[in-house]
Chains A and B, each alone.
Chain A
Amino acid sequence: GENVEQHPSTLSVQEGDSAVIKCTYSDSASNYFPWYKQELGKRPQLIIDIRSNVGEKKDQRIAVTLNKTAKHFSLHITETQPEDSAVYFCAASMYVRGSNYKLTFGKGTLLTVNP
C-alpha cells in the first residue's frame, strides 16, 4: 500500500519567514495530494490540494509543488504569521472507484511561528 513520509516533524520559524514542509510517497499511482491544517484540539481542515496533472498550485501565501518523477511534494508558506501555528498533514491518494477516497497521511509537522 501507499506510504507517506513527512519532514520535519517540528519546525519553528520567526514571524515573516517562510516555512517549507516536505513529503514523499511510495505509490506512483497516487494522483491526489491534499494538505490539512489541524490547530490544537480542532478538526483537520483542508488548506490546499494538488492533482498530478499540475506541478504547482498557489493560494495567497500558500503554495504546493509536486514532483511526480521523484514522488515528492512540498508545502510552502510565505510571510508566516502566528496564526499559522498548527500541525500540518500531507496526504496522498489515488483515484479508485470514482473517488480519491483512501487518503494516506503523513505523521504531521508541528509548525510554530514565533512573534
Chain B
Amino acid sequence: GAGVSQSPSNKVTEKGKDVELRCDPISGHTALYWYRQRLGQGLEFLIYFQGNSAPDKSGLPSDRFSAERTGESVSTLTIQRTQQEDSAVYLCASSFLRGEQFFGPGTRLTVL
C-alpha cells in the first residue's frame, strides 16, 4: 500500500506568516508523530498522536506550534507567525501502536 505522504514538499514563506503542513499516514496506523530536522542535525520529537488525541505535546518548541489529527488519519502541523529559526525539514511518521515508525518524505520549510 501507499506509504506516509506529506504536503507540500517544499514551502517558502515570509517571516511572520502562518503555515500549515499536512501528513497522511499509512492507513490503519493508530500512532502518528511529528519531528523536526534542522540541517545537519538529528530528528527532534515534536508531538505524538494516539488516535486523534495527543498524549504528549512536550516537544512543541513554543505556543506558535500546534497540531491536530482528525478521523484517526490526516494530521496538520500549524506554525503561526513563522520565524527564521523555524526553517527545517518537518517529518511525519506513523506506526501501529508498538511497531516500526515509517517516515514520510518531509516538508522543507524555509522562512525568509
Contacts and interface: CB of A to CB of B under 8 A. Distances in A.
A25 to B, nearest CB: 13
Chain A interface bracket (under 10, 10 to 19, 20 to 34, 35 or more): 20 to 34
Nearest to A105: B42
Interface in A67-92: 89, 91
B51 to A, nearest CB: 12
Contact of B31 (A45, A91, A101): A101
Interface of B: 4, 31, 33, 40-45, 48, 50, 55-56, 91, 97-98, 100-106
Contacts, number: 55
Given A101-B33, A101-B56, 17 more contacts: A34-B100, A34-B101, A43-B103, A43-B104, A44-B103, A89-B42, A97-B50, A97-B55, A98-B97, A99-B97, A100-B98, A101-B50, A105-B42, A105-B43, A105-B44, A107-B40, A108-B40
B98 A106 contact: no
Interface string A1-41: 00010100000000000000000000000000010100000
